[in-house]
């Protein structure tokens, strides 16, 4: 099986003394749904940005869809992104366009298709997310879950080979959540794509993904199938998966002595 994404010893930081990513190596095979999980601020969104080419690694190499992202110019980067789709945390729909025009946007920008074909393609994509009837609505008229489904339809408009999801489950009600989970799996399998889900909703995500990379403090600390992760004895993973208060991650943010702050001392 070939790898669609291959990060080799990738490091990244805005400031060399404080790296955000520290020597990350991970690979994502074609056709799989892979989760990158960890606490907020552990570097998982940065990893996603490395994969989409928004950031260039300051050390190591990122190979995505056969391109070395560090060596691409803007043209090359855009050519690579045409084969990728990305679902943003809150959808990022264009608020000045209708649902139909949002989904038609990538088609109109990249292909010069006859209008009837655009119409057919948009309706097919909207049908896939169950929102064909909402084509004429404006984004402000949609619920959060619907907006995310429209954004999903837009991100698959050009039939991407690699789908990236940035916190796709945040702020969804249980029904919308179930719909999104099912869509991620179905679209991945019907498009023959590869999907990467970045999330901290561990329990939910473990039901969807084939494989998990677990991150903490800019490093990969564990990897495995969902069952292996659930059974992991690694203290951090154990604390995180089970939502325990005590463990390697302290409940308290580093602070001076409590009595000193309450001015009890002396």
| Dist CA 211 CA 128 (whole Å) | 25
At 45, phi and psi to the nearest 5? -70, -35
- Which residues, other chains included, contact 249 with Cβ-Cβ below 8 Å and sequence gap of 6+? 39, 236, 239, 240
> In whole angstroms, how close is the CB of 97 to other proteins at the nearest point?
10
Positions in the binding site for other proteins (CB under 8 A): 52, 54, 74, 77-79, 81-82, 84, 86, 88-90, 92-95, 105-106, 109-110, 151
- Of the pair 6, 167, the CB lying nearest other proteins is at 167
Alpha helix ranges (H) inside 18-110:
44-52, 74-81, 99-110
- Minimum distance between the CB of residue 251 and other proteins, rounded to whole angstroms? 28
Residue from 48, 156, 168 nearest 105 by CA:
156
Whole-angstrom Cα Rg for the chain: 20
211: β partners: 34
In the complex, least distance from residue 136 CB atom to other proteins, rounded to whole angstroms? 19
Please state the closest distance from residue 92 (CB atom) to other proteins, in A.
Answer: 4
Residue number, 86 or 229, with CB nearest to other proteins: 86
Q: How far is the CB of 55 from other proteins (least distance, A)?
A: 12
Helix/strand/coil for 28: strand
Closest contact distance (angstroms) between CB of 84 and other proteins is: 7
Of 21 and 80, CB closest to other proteins:
80
CA dist., res. 252 & res. 206, Å (int): 27
CB-wise, 93 or 99, nearer to other proteins? 93
213 contacts 35 by C-beta, under 8 angstroms: yes
> In whole angstroms, how far apart are CA 177 and each of 86, 180, 202, 205, 256?
18, 5, 13, 11, 41
Farthest CA pair distance, the chain: 81
Complex with other proteins: residue 94 or 258, whichever CB lies closer: 94
Q: Which two tokens stand for residue 196?
A: 């990467």
d(CA 28, CA 153): 23
* Closer by beta carbon to other proteins, 97 or else 217: 97
**Closer residue to other proteins (CB): 22 or 89:** 89
Cβ 166 to other proteins shortest distance, Å: 9
3-state secondary structure of 82: coil
């Amino acid at each position: 099986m070939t790898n669609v994404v291959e990060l080799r010893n990738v490091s990244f930081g805005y400031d060399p003394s404080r790296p955000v990513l520290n020597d990350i190596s991970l690979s994502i095979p074609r056709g799989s749904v892979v989760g990158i999980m960890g606490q907020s601020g552990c570097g998982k969104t940065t990893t996603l940005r490395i994969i989409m080419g928004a950031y260039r690694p300051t050390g190591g190499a990122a190979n995505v869809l056969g391109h070395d992202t560090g060596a691409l110019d803007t043209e090359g980067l855009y050519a690579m992104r045409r084969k990728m789709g990305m679902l943003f945390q809150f959808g990022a729909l264009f608020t000045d366009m209708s649902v139909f025009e949002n989904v038609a946007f990538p088609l109109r920008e990249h292909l010069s298709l006859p209008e009837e074909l655009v119409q057919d393609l948009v309706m097919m994509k909207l049908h896939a997310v169950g929102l064909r009837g909402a084509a004429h609505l404006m984004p402000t008229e949609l619920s959060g879950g619907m907006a995310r489904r429209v954004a999903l339809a837009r991100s698959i408009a050009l039939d991407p080979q690699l789908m990236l999801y940035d916190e796709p489950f945040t702020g969804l009600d249980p029904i919308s959540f179930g719909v999104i989970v099912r869509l991620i799996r179905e679209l991945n399998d019907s498009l023959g794509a590869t999907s990467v889900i970045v999330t901290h909703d561990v329990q939910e995500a473990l039901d969807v993904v084939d494989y998990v990379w677990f991150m903490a403090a800019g490093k990969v600390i564990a990897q495995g199938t969902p069952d292996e992760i659930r059974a992991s004895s690694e203290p951090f993973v154990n604390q995180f998966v089970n939502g325990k208060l005590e463990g390697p991650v302290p409940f308290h943010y580093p602070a001076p002595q409590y009595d000193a702050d309450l001015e009890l001392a002396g």
